[in-house]
Chains A and B, each alone.
Chain A
Amino acid sequence: MRRRLFTHATSAPRDGLDVGALAPMVDMMTLLLVFLLRTWSTESAPVPPSGSFELSTTTSTESRQHAVTILVSPEAIWVDGHRVIATPRIGADVLIREVYDPLLAQRGEQRVEIHADATVPWAVLKRVIATTEAAGLNEIALVGASAEGM
Chain B
Amino acid sequence: MKRRRLYSAAPAAEADVRPTLLGVVTLLFLLLFFLLGTSSGQKLAVIGLHVGTADGLAPLPHAGLVKSLGVEIASTGAVTVRTVMQTTDISASATSTEQRVQPIPGRNGAVDRPALEAALAAVQKADPTQRKATVLPDDAVPTSALISVMDAVRGPNGTRFPEVTLQDLASAGAP
Contacts and interface: CB of A to CB of B under 8 A. Distances in A.
A108 interface: no
B91 interface: no
Interface string A34-45: 001101111111
Interface stretch (B31-39, B56-64, B119-127): B31-39
Contacts of A88: none
Contact of B143 (A32, A116, A133): A116
Interface string B132-149: 000001111111101110
Interface residues of A, number: 56
A29 interface: yes
Contacts of B150: 58, 142
A22 B18 contact: yes
Contacts of A43: 40, 44
Contact of B140 (A41, A122, A144): A122
User: How large, as a class, is the contact surface on chain B?
Assistant: 35 or more
B140 A62 contact: no
Say whether chain A's binding surface is mostly helix, strand, loop, or mixed: mixed
Given A29-B32, A64-B46, A144-B47, A58 B39 contact: no
Contact of B48 (A62, A125, A149): A62
Given A29-B25, A58-B151, A126-B168, A145 B42 contact: yes
A118 B43 contact: no
Contact of B32 (A36, A59, A145): A36
A49 interface: no
Given A33-B31, A119-B144, A58 B18 contact: no
Given A36-B36, A144-B47, A60 B18 contact: no
Interface string A107-126: 00000010011111111011
Given A45-B42, A144-B46, 13 more contacts: A39-B43, A40-B41, A41-B42, A43-B44, A56-B148, A62-B47, A63-B46, A65-B46, A119-B144, A126-B166, A141-B47, A144-B44, A144-B45
